[in-house]
Amino acid sequence: MPKIKAALAAVLVMEKEGITQAFGVPGAAINPLYAQLRERGTIGHILARHVEGASHMAEGYTRAVAGNIGVCIGTSGPAGTDMITGLYSAQADSIPILCITGQAPRARLHKEDFQAVDIASIAKPVTKWATTVLEPAQVPQVFQQAFHLMRSGRPGPVLIDLPFDVMQAEIEFDIDTYEPLPAYKPAASRKQIDKALAMLNEAERPLIVAGGGIINADASDLLVQFAEITGIPVIPTLMGWGSIPDNHPLMAGMCGLQTSHRYGNANMLASDFVLGIGNRWANRHTGSTDVYCKGRKFVHVDIEPTQIGRVFAPDLGIVSDAKAALQLFVDAALELRAAGRLRNRQDWAAECQGRKASVDYLRKTNFEQVPMKPQRVYQCMNNAFGEDTTYVSTIGLSQIAGAQFLHVYHPRHWINCGQAGPLGWTVPAALGVRAADPSRRIVALSGDYDFQFMIEELAVGAQFKLPYIHMVVNNSYLGLIRQSQRGFSMDYCVQLGFDNINSPADEVTAQGYGVDHVKVVEGLGCKAIRVHRPDEVAPAIRQAEAWMAEFQVPVVIEVILERVTNIAMGTEIDNVTEFEEVAGGKADVPTAVALLD
């Protein structure tokens, strides 16, 4: 059997597992692995400007295309701790990424050596598995187990920590005999599916809640097929957005306290039965369970056993991969329909569609003010970007309003960090999406603070020719925190504006908006446009697309907003405050009675 360095064995296993792209920052303790990456030349590498950025690029790469696993690589010590945020983000949203860190030699681990930190212990709470490999001969099987775990059950991230001398040691390993381990995915039984369908058939006003697990399982087509067979409207969660097209007659809107539609909340409140598939009943979707659960029964299907009953006890829980469950749901529903035992849901579906089409359930966007209101920006985006657009966003009023006003028509076309929501995620994630798919239209969405957090990663887009459009809505505020501070009667430490001495006096942005994003973006090798008026947005988008085609770099469109706009949100799904008038002319309508008029 041939003898090779353990670092080479790691690279060979990654090749066999389908890895063709990595993101990272080299350093002394991880150089043995980089030496083998360079020697093999089969795995591309994109150099991040910050190691946290590399972890978010890996996330974007995984989230963009079914079957992808993003790989992020860093050296010892702070490289690993910098990637913890990416691991947490991936773990929270069930996203498999492989994080590889260098480590001090084994003999130095207990001597407080330079950059020697127990990264495996630090990473354990935010990974499916985190391990420091202490025996060189274990390297191939540790990597094999990592891929097996990432793909099995609820997907998630793994960290492998490699001491310097472990990577350098020679081991006996024959890659020609290597085979990936088959992933384990629990599957529902037909008995469970028949029981769930019997409960559904008894309901008068049933809904399907479609979670991100459906997109992870690549099961969106089955979801739509099942909904069409049964005629049951679908409420996607934020992570499941795109699993059914926004313009599908059975798409009943999103439900929740923030990233929701008025008609979505109203449809949920009118229902008497909910079939949740691949979702985790996140609190920003449900609000309190007292309101969310009252008057309705629940069936919950999820790949992770411990998710069943975690937030509230369903009437029936089924542990299953979403694709396996939906295939059985489709088969069983077709049999019921053939036997004439499937209830007709036309009236209920029409009722849900009626709310979706009513101006009383739509929020107003056609504001003419300058500086612009954010609602008008999203109207302009909807007019300019087609159904093939992939949106990337993370957190803040920009993301909340984006979810309320934008439209998504395909799975994996809303790339969003759901549970963790780290500021700065958007730029590197968008670059990861572009690396995964060189052809699709990508539009990132940030507020000015999210944009500033990891703005240096734009240089990666310039260096590696990763073009996309980045819409930055700039109100020079921590807008979401400012809005939440209303409950404390304060506006404290959330202002980002200042008089920039380097901005020209005749520039509108010089009037206290602070950072000159256009100059910063251009200094990082990208292109930027600043707009102030609604009629400037469409020409700016056309210019951005021309620049992307010519220069192959990210293009930032900064839209100057009015300083303060409160975006609709509330404390319960029947208590969402509309701070602006809605399309039907009503404002500040927080009650369930009003929603269901």
Which residue type is seen at 91? Q
pLDDT band at 190 (very low <50, low <70, confident <90, very high): very high
Angle made by CA atoms 387, 385, 382, in degrees to the nearest 5? 90
Summarize the confidence of residues 189-211 as an average pLDDT. 96
Angle between helices 6-16 and 31-40 (to 10 degrees): 50
Can you tell me the distance from the alpha carbon of 220 to that of 218, in angstroms, rounded to the nearest whole number? 6
Give pLDDT tens digits for 424-439.
999 999 999 999 999 9
Residue 592 lies in a domain: no
Q: Which domain holds residue 287?
A: 190-361
Do 347 and 226 belong to one domain? Answer: yes
Count how many residues are written for the chain: 597
The CATH number of the domain holding residue 220 is 3.40.50.1220
* 15: DSSP letter: H
Residue 596 lies in a domain: no
244 has pLDDT over 70 = yes
pLDDT band at 587 (very low <50, low <70, confident <90, very high): low
Q: Is 487 left (phi over 0), alpha (psi -120 to 50) or beta?
A: alpha
pLDDT band at 488 (very low <50, low <70, confident <90, very high): confident
Summarize the confidence of residues 525-546 as an average pLDDT. 96
State the CB neighbour count (10 A cutoff) for residue 105. Answer: 16
Do 159 and 221 belong to one domain? Answer: no
pLDDT band at 514 (very low <50, low <70, confident <90, very high): confident
pLDDT band at 504 (very low <50, low <70, confident <90, very high): low
Summarize the confidence of residues 478-503 as an average pLDDT. 80
Contact 172, 1 (CB under 8 A): yes
595 has pLDDT over 50 = no
506 has pLDDT over 90 = no
List C-alpha distances in Å: 463 to 47, 64, 450, 471. 9, 21, 22, 20
Residue 572 lies in a domain: no
Both tokens of residue 368? 């003419």
Residue 368 lies in a domain: no
Summarize the confidence of residues 317-339 as an average pLDDT. 96
Summarize the confidence of residues 568-591 as an average pLDDT. 77
Contact 538, 380 (CB under 8 A): yes
pLDDT band at 592 (very low <50, low <70, confident <90, very high): very low
Do 345 and 202 belong to one domain? Answer: yes
pLDDT band at 591 (very low <50, low <70, confident <90, very high): very low
508 has pLDDT over 70 = no
Percent of the chain whose predicted confidence (pLDDT) is above 90: 81
Q: In this structure, what are the phi and psi dihedrals at residue 469, rounded to the nearest 5 degrees?
A: -100, 135
Summarize the confidence of residues 540-555 as an average pLDDT. 97
247 has pLDDT over 90 = yes
Summarize the confidence of residues 546-563 as an average pLDDT. 95
Residue 594 has what pLDDT?
38
Give pLDDT tens digits for 57-95.
999 999 999 999 999 999 999 999 999 999 999 999 999
Residue 505 has what pLDDT?
54
State the CB neighbour count (10 A cutoff) for residue 429. Answer: 31
Contact 423, 453 (CB under 8 A): yes
Residue 146 lies in a domain: yes
Do 379 and 338 belong to one domain? Answer: no
Residue 219 has what pLDDT?
97
Do 171 and 267 belong to one domain? Answer: no
Residue 519 has what pLDDT?
92
Q: In this structure, what are the phi and psi dihedrals at residue 396, rounded to the nearest 5 degrees?
A: 105, 175
| Helix residue spans in 294-425 (DSSP H) | 322-338, 346-357, 374-384, 397-405
pLDDT band at 229 (very low <50, low <70, confident <90, very high): very high
Do 379 and 480 belong to one domain? Answer: yes
State the CB neighbour count (10 A cutoff) for residue 527. Answer: 21
Q: What is the mean pLDDT of the chain?
A: 92
Give pLDDT tens digits for 115-141.
789 999 999 999 999 999 999 999 999
Do 309 and 395 belong to one domain? Answer: no
Residue 464 exposed, middle or buried by CB count within 10 Å (0-12, 13-18, 19+)? middle
Do 544 and 457 belong to one domain? Answer: yes
Do 347 and 403 belong to one domain? Answer: no
pLDDT band at 484 (very low <50, low <70, confident <90, very high): confident
285 has pLDDT over 90 = yes
Q: Picking from 105-109, 178-182, 390-394, 442-446, which range would have the lowest pLDDT averaged per residue?
A: 105-109
144 has pLDDT over 70 = yes
Do 211 and 278 belong to one domain? Answer: yes
Residue 418 has what pLDDT?
86
Residue 100 lies in a domain: yes
Do 198 and 109 belong to one domain? Answer: no
Catalytic residues: 25, 51, 423, 478, 481
Residue 116 lies in a domain: yes
Summarize the confidence of residues 192-215 as an average pLDDT. 96
The CATH number of the domain holding residue 35 is 3.40.50.970
Both tokens of residue 231? 């005629």
Summarize the confidence of residues 162-174 as an average pLDDT. 96
Residue 493 has what pLDDT?
83
Q: Which residues contact 201 (CB under 8 A, 6 or more apart)?
A: 336, 341, 342, 343
Domain total for the chain?
A: 3
pLDDT band at 507 (very low <50, low <70, confident <90, very high): low
Which one is predicted more confidently, 567 or 302?
Answer: 302
Do 288 and 409 belong to one domain? Answer: no
Can you tell me the distance from the alpha carbon of 377 to that of 488, in angstroms, rounded to the nearest whole number? 29
Give pLDDT tens digits for 7-37.
999 999 999 999 999 999 999 999 999 999 9
Give pLDDT tens digits for 209-219.
999 999 999 99
Angle made by CA atoms 171, 176, 179, in degrees to the nearest 5? 95
Residue 566 lies in a domain: no
